Chains A and B, each alone.
Chain A
């Protein structure tokens, strides 16, 4: 559905160890090397590309070339944003609440997520997309809760993009009305710029990190609607200044909501679960109040 203009096969993405499921007949043979840009770092001598000519600096003599100017005016992330729009439309049509969880590595995202799934799995349909550079360990941890999960390995990629997520949702096929968590690659920088079509970005910050993370990584905290301060059971042992952290986050993003919790002791978990239930309710109400016109929409 979403792949009519797709540039699949970029880099080293694997969805559960496999290459993207479809080949692209529209990619000409000489294009194939282009999708592995990372490999060009340091050795640019791909023999498939010699036909483009070497030494173009000399070929630029005035009057010798048919150089012309082309107006483009396109957002650099425009392609990702188009996929994100298609995802969002689909999530809305299916009444799904989709949350994009972002944090540094080691913030306890996966532990928080498994505790959350355990608490909600009898109540509502759940699904998880796990993004990591390598390994399927996290998806396996999630599946141990009985919730369907799919791992995307981004290879060298430092973030998930909307196109990968679209494919993963195809595979997972969550039922309408599901709560879908997307656990992004542990990285507070790059995922800020890549819209996946989610309803909310949720930034998780553990008290074992610096309280100044919101001002160190302002783009992420500006993009998030909710900040979870995790592992608060450890607060007595640390110098983490909770008030200061909250002030920093509000300085970056006056509208951000903030919850503090511990997946280990359960403190604060009720508020988080309540937040999730309310957010999901609003999606379902939105779904019910719509005339079922969504069937006619095409992404």
Chain B
């Protein structure tokens, strides 16, 4: 979806953390992106380089940890893996699923100097 905006969001966090934690450059960024977060990883990488250009994270390396999608199936009463938001339960075929994991986007960690 809007990977450009997301990268701008990342940059804003980097800039405010740089002021708070006193660093001048960011060398590596670790993002956690859920498979259900609607983010195209390749687009994210492309935008990341473009957005970081000329910033404190110019040429920083982007590491992406993908977290698998999980949902609670109300009929089976258990957690099941899902690959898309509209997947059916792999066991019973129901769509009564509540996504419980893999829909978040977080900045985990930075290597800075």
Q: Which of A52-60, A112-120, A128-136 contacts B (4 or more CB under 8 A)?
A: A52-60
Instruction: Please tell me if the beta carbons of A76 and B10 are within 8 angstroms of each other in the complex.
Output: yes
Q: Which of A94-102, A187-195, A197-205 contacts B (4 or more CB under 8 A)?
A: A187-195
Q: A7-B12, A72-B13 are in contact. Are A46 and B109 (CB under 8 A)?
A: no
Instruction: Please tell me if the beta carbons of A70 and B17 are within 8 angstroms of each other in the complex.
Output: yes
Number of interface residues of A (CB under 8 A): 53
Cα–Cα distance between A198 and B2 once the two chains are bound (Å): 20
Q: Mark A1-41, 1 if CB is under 8 A from B, else 0.
A: 00001010011000000000000000000010110011011
Cα–Cα distance between A193 and B39 once the two chains are bound (Å): 11
Instruction: Please tell me if the beta carbons of B86 and A190 are within 8 angstroms of each other in the complex.
Output: no
Name the residue of chain A whose CB is nearest to the CB of B97: A254
Instruction: Please tell me if the beta carbons of B113 and A74 are within 8 angstroms of each other in the complex.
Output: no
- Most chain A CB within a 10 A radius of its CB, from B2, B17, B25: B2
Instruction: Please tell me if the beta carbons of A49 and B54 are within 8 angstroms of each other in the complex.
Output: yes
Cα–Cα distance between A218 and B112 once the two chains are bound (Å): 37
- Offer 19 A-B interface pairs, CB within 8 angstroms, sorted by A: A34-B15, A34-B55, A37-B7, A37-B11, A52-B58, A56-B25, A56-B58, A65-B113, A69-B111, A70-B112, A72-B110, A74-B13, A76-B31, A76-B106, A79-B9, A158-B2, A189-B1, A189-B38, A215-B86
Instruction: Please tell me if the beta carbons of A74 and B107 are within 8 angstroms of each other in the complex.
Output: yes
Q: Mark B35-46, 1 if CB is under 8 A from A, else 0.
A: 000100000000
Cα–Cα distance between A37 and B9 once the two chains are bound (Å): 11
B101 sits at the interface (CB 8 A): no
Chain B interface bracket (under 10, 10 to 19, 20 to 34, 35 or more): 35 or more
Residues of B within 8 A of A190 (CB): 1-2, 5
A77 sits at the interface (CB 8 A): yes
Cα–Cα distance between A5 and B111 once the two chains are bound (Å): 24
Instruction: Please tell me if the beta carbons of B106 and A40 are within 8 angstroms of each other in the complex.
Output: no
- Using a CB-CB cutoff of 8 Å, which residues 210-226 of chain A contact chain B? 215, 218-219, 222
Cα–Cα distance between A286 and B111 once the two chains are bound (Å): 47
